[in-house]
Structure 1
């Protein structure tokens, strides 16, 4: 059987030193870094620095990226800025400068290999009034959409202030890559890298629950949201959400259908680090809603995303859909 679809990795990152230079020394940066340090703890920070330095060529140089993709058997990457560039603490003026710089720099990085690299920009979720403008700017650069975190300071994704953003994203068919950065459980997760191993999937589950239970996905059924890390804990524990929706009036007050039904309106990357969890994700979301993801090139990713997918022993058609068919259709690569 012929499978012409390219192998597409939808979870790959780009580091932009010029973005960090833009915010360097600004009021608020030191406080944000202190919060990040408290959340991660000293042991994690001691590992993170060398880990990122070792991967700088793959994070910044297009040639190194393409060589690594060749080694992995990946044809196309959807490149998103490192979530460390969100900087949701910045004021409106700085936030606009930042999203413009990041969007333009990401587009420039991908333009070196336009057949193999597609990009995502950023929007300042801390300033909802800027979100539509930032999305439009990203799309004007030729980017496929934008990357967002699981929340902004004082605002969940269910906040009504984001309604214009969801409407614009739906109308433009922009991709929204939901990738948390930082967990509000704070110092409870400051040892053993729990800030990532527990924090990231917890934040994914909370953010997706806000989109589901608030009715955002009812009001905007055409949204194209891709959840990183397989959607975190939510897909494998969605039965508890369904039970609450059935048993309690307060739980079902905001959304029209059982929560599990919305999983088939979302997309999920395959980065769950367990073939049985990946099989369950495909079962509950549908083989047409799961996309290959590696978290390139960080240490919490996988260096062999296709091998990790193959380990799930999916039916052949499902394997190829996840390997690249689904993402190729989203990116209009077919």
Structure 2
């Protein structure tokens, strides 16, 4: 989809709120039992309900709102939501599992999300899935999502197995995201938190926002944002605990005395987040830290954690700011997406790698 295609597409979106944080899953989920690893599966209970299993154990019960566009549109119309951006349920990203099954799963999920969008392209957009544990394949799937499927970008977790997002093996992925000016939604997984937090039953309230803050802080410190300046990193859940921690991160940077001139708070203004904070003061803090143009409405539809009615947290914002957060910021992001040929991006990666290898040999590293 060329830039003009996005321009035309934005004019055809239904009026109303745009929800950047919603989830979907195929009730006819692919059978991955032939692959090594612990992958999710879906068991249909009837035409309107199903349950997600992980390792054969119940993970979550879901209903038709996870896959039925007509059911979703009924809810959207009732709450004034014009458009939802669909994304995978984080448990299905499977970043810590063997690559072969994860590759198959990502491709299948993207086909499903594409089919959902196609039923009502004026009401739905999508973030795709990518097998980040296989970075070169993840690059190819990212390009396919943006170029061929017309997605806004992709969703990834806060960690890839035991690796942080700042790990150098993900550099090419983020560079291509930057070339495409694609969005990368960073979403925590509720089974990946510190065992102390899990055992205390605080995963949702403490573990997930902490995981998001750690991932974001590592990206800020690693300079990955400088190497991928046009990638649109969107932090779920209002940026987790990062907005509250930024002043302390700034002081820690100063105490470290490493000569860094740009504060973490300044660098954080390159990030974006959704509005899912459950609290106006927290939303206002996110707006202060990231900027009024870098926060977009998100609800976590259709799960119990979702904000209801959609956009209620925005009611006390000024008219101008509410318009930005509820719609225009996302439209601006989409208008900046710049698809290109797969060959063009692959050639750039090879050239970058060749230059890096040349520097490595020259310096004797």
Q: TM-score range by the shorter chain?
A: 0.7 to 0.9
Other-structure match for 1:39: none
User: Do the aligned partners of 2:32 and 2:39 also contact (CA within 8 Å) in 1?
Assistant: no
When normalised by structure 1's length, the TM-score is 0.86
Shift of 1:31: 11
Shift of 1:227: 0.7
Other-structure match for 1:37: none
Q: Deviations over 1:134-178 (max 9, x none)?
A: 101212112111000001112101001111101100001111111
Q: Given the alignment of the two structures, is residue 287 of structure 1 paired with residue 296 of structure 2, yes or no? A: no
Shift of 1:230: 0.6
Paired residue secondary structure (2:81): coil
Q: Deviations over 1:168-207 (max 9, x none)?
A: 0000111111111135444312356411211110111011
Shift of 1:237: 1.8
User: Do the aligned partners of 1:6 and 1:325 also contact (CA within 8 Å) in 2?
Assistant: no
Other-structure match for 1:315: 318
Larger radius of gyration: 2
Among candidates 246, 251, 259, match of residue 243 of structure 1: 251
What is the 5 A alignment of 1:32-181?
A: 49=60, 52-53=61-62, 56-139=63-146, 140-181=148-189
Q: Which has the higher helix share?
A: 1
Among candidates 236, 241, 248, match of residue 233 of structure 1: 241
Unaligned 5+ segments in structure 2 are: 1-13, 42-56, 337-365
In the comparison of the two structures, how many residue pairs are matched? Answer: 307
User: Do the aligned partners of 2:297 and 2:327 also contact (CA within 8 Å) in 1?
Assistant: yes
Other-structure match for 1:16: 26
Other-structure match for 2:220: 212
State the alpha-carbon separation in 2 of the partners of residues 271 and 249 from structure 1.
Answer: 35
State the alpha-carbon separation in 2 of the partners of residues 162 and 283 from structure 1.
Answer: 29
Q: Given the alignment of the two structures, is residue 198 of structure 1 paired with residue 206 of structure 2, yes or no? A: yes
Using CA pairs below 8 Å that are at least 6 residues apart, which structure has the higher relative contact order? 1
Q: Deviations over 1:247-274 (max 9, x none)?
A: 2135x66xx6100012221111000111
Paired residue secondary structure (2:269): helix
User: Do the aligned partners of 1:123 and 1:135 also contact (CA within 8 Å) in 2?
Assistant: yes
Unaligned 5+ segments in structure 1 are: 33-44
Other-structure match for 1:257: 262
Paired residue secondary structure (1:106): helix
The CA RMSD measured in Å over matched residues stands at: 2.3
State the alpha-carbon separation in 2 of the partners of residues 238 and 263 from structure 1.
Answer: 8
